């Protein structure tokens, strides 16, 4: 009896501590991941991932950015144990990714997913739920909630072949949540969508986070990421060239100021603007040095020109991306 009591105390004491350790683990921890492919008639080794290291913290939206062919999908394939890395380690919530249990808290939406055209969204989700072995009541309740989450309630009973690309993508996002995952992995979820479609998907990704899920998604579209990501990693040619919080990567530093002036000739701004160009009766002046902005304004006032606009351009993620991609 005494031993049993001690066992119980043990379980009670260690339970929360164990949970705490789990809560503190990164959602994804990738260390020095390497992957080569052998290609060609006379096979040659191509290094695709050249030692990738980054971490995704629990509860954040993490953007994995990079141009086409950089290695984003290959990283995801390694993470899901669809292909074997040549070196390095991957942990999912503290478990090695080789352990099948490490994939239990995962939801996944592949790049360009294929759907059975003749199923309705509701049937498609039911099919997925059955694969996860959900009971009927739980299944139907969850599907109704997911359809609402992605805004497909009204189209739920239409066959998927009648869906637009954006709607299909939303059905795919609902599918990625069927098993109630803690971590959702989305490969190019914004690909091939118009600006409105992209906004809808962004809003859904933010809802995933509000539900307490961690979201890891890839993209080569920058503007979208800037709006919703807590942190990003930029991969170029199989290497991580930047990783961090957006506010640390993107400074508030003014890169240049652009002034549009009417009523004065371009020559008036020689020596002030880094570049001066005339468009009809307007002059566009790009000024690098902040002190020269005042000089330009003085000149406009003195010579009675008209200032149509004055806009400082701060650094954006796009600038960093272009800078790193062109430098590598």
Ligand X SMILES: Nc1ncnc2c1ncn2[C@@H]1O[C@H](COP(=O)(O)OP(=O)(O)O)[C@@H](O)[C@H]1O
Residues in contact with Mg ion by CB under 5 A are 72-73, 111
**Residue 286 near residue 274 (C-beta atoms within 8 A):** yes
Q: What angle do CA 223, 226, 227 make, to 5 degrees?
A: 95
Rounded CA-CA distance 87/89 in Å is 7
Residue of this chain nearest to Mg ion (CB atom): 73
Rounded CA-CA distance 244/265 in Å is 45
Per-residue CA distances from 122 to 6, 109, 143, 221, 246 (Å): 49, 17, 7, 30, 37
Smallest separation, CB 59 to ligand X (Å):
25
Count Cβ atoms below 10 Å from residue 232 Cβ, excluding itself.
25
Smallest separation, CB 191 to Mg ion (Å):
9
Measured from the CB atom, the residue of 61 and 70 that comes closer to Mg ion is 70
Q: Interface with ligand X by CB under 6 A: which residues?
A: 37, 39, 48, 66, 68-74
Measured from the CB atom, the residue of 75 and 214 that comes closer to Mg ion is 75
Measured from the CB atom, the residue of 70 and 287 that comes closer to ligand X is 70
Smallest separation, CB 125 to ligand X (Å):
27
Smallest separation, CB 54 to ligand X (Å):
14
Which of Mg ion, ligand X, none sits in contact with 105, Cβ below 5 to 8 A by type? none
Give SS3 for 143.
helix
Smallest separation, CB 69 to ligand X (Å):
4
Which of Mg ion, ligand X, none sits in contact with 102, Cβ below 5 to 8 A by type? none
Measured from the CB atom, the residue of 124 and 321 that comes closer to ligand X is 321
Measured from the CB atom, the residue of 29 and 72 that comes closer to ligand X is 72
Token code pair at residue 245: 């919080």
Rounded CA-CA distance 208/185 in Å is 11
């Amino acid at each position: 009896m005494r031993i049993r009591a001690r066992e119980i105390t043990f379980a009670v004491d260690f339970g929360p501590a164990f949970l705490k350790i789990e809560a503190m683990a990164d959602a994804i921890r990738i260390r020095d991941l390497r992957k080569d492919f052998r290609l060609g008639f006379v096979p040659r080794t191509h290094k695709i991932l050249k030692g990738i290291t980054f971490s995704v913290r629990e509860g954040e939206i993490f953007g994995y950015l990079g141009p086409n062919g950089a290695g984003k999908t290959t990283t995801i394939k390694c993470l899901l144990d669809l292909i074997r890395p040549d070196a390095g380690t991957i942990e999912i919530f503290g478990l090695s990714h080789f352990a099948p249990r490490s994939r239990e808290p995962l939801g996944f939406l592949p790049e360009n997913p294929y759907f059975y055209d003749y199923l309705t969204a509701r049937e498609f989700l039911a099919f997925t739920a059955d694969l996860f072995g959900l009971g009927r009541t739980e299944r139907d309740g969850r599907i109704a909630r997911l359809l609402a989450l992605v805004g497909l309630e009204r189209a739920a009973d239409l066959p998927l072949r009648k869906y637009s690309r954006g709607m299909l993508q939303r059905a795919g996002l609902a599918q990625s949540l069927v098993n109630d995952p803690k971590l959702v992995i989305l490969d190019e979820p914004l690909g091939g969508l118009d600006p409105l479609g992209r906004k809808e998907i962004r809003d859904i990704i933010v809802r995933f986070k509000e539900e307490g899920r961690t979201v890891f998604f890839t993209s080569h579209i920058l503007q979208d990421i800037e709006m919703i990501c807590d942190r990003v990693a930029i991969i170029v040619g199989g290497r991580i060239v930047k990783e961090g919080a957006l506010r640390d990567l993107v400074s508030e530093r003014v890169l240049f100021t652009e002034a549009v002036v009417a009523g004065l000739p371009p020559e008036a701004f020689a020596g002030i603007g880094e570049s001066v160009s005339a468009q009809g009766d307007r002059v566009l002046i790009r000024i690098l040095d902040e002190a020269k902005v005042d000089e330009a304004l003085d000149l406009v006032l003195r010579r009675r020109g008209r200032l149509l606009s004055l806009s400082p351009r701060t650094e954006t993620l796009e600038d960093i991306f272009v800078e790193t991609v062109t430098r590598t």
